[in-house]
Amino acid sequence: MQTRAIILTVAAATAFTATSLIGVGTAWAADSSAASTGGTSKKQMRAENRALSHAVRQSLTKVKGLNSSHINVLAHGSTVTLAGTAPDQSQIDSAQAAASKVAGVSHVNNELTVSEPGN
């Protein structure tokens, strides 16, 4: 009888410990996911990325002599990627300069290429 009581006590202690560890693991996972996104939700991050892309696009359209109709703007965090084509290298340089001056942009990945004649 005494052996059975010891076994039940050990089983209860083990179950309690396992439950405690599961709770700690879940709490840690929740904390780490919030920390990795800086406390912002995916929906909010996407909205911020869209707003920054829009601001860069607006900036490109205001540059005199820049044909931005074939330039795509993609923002991820504070990094902006310019992709597509421009008629010549000077317009590619102008687009990069304009994008880098937009508030909130820390880095510009310039993947623009010079368009071939006839395309």
102-116 residue pLDDT tens: 999 999 999 999 998
Q: How far is the CA of 23 from the CAs of 14, 19, 82, 87, in angstroms?
A: 14, 6, 45, 59
Q: Is the pLDDT of residue 29 over 70?
A: no
Q: Quick one: 19 and 77 in the same domain?
A: no
Q: Quick one: 35 and 46 in the same domain?
A: no
pLDDT score recorded for residue 27:
44
pLDDT score recorded for residue 7:
61
pLDDT tens-digit series, residues 47-81: 999 999 999 999 999 999 999 999 999 999 999 99
φ, ψ of residue 84 in degrees (nearest 5): 125, -150
φ, ψ of residue 78 in degrees (nearest 5): -100, 10
Flag whether 91 is in a domain. yes
Using DSSP, state whether 7 is helix, strand or coil: helix
pLDDT score recorded for residue 96:
96
Instruction: State the total domains in the chain.
Output: 2
Residue 116 gets which letter from DSSP?
A: P
Flag whether 9 is in a domain. yes
pLDDT score recorded for residue 9:
58
Residue 38 gets which letter from DSSP?
A: T
Q: Which domain holds residue 14?
A: 1-39
Per the CB < 8 A criterion, the answer to whether 110 and 82 are in contact is yes
Q: Quick one: 7 and 52 in the same domain?
A: no
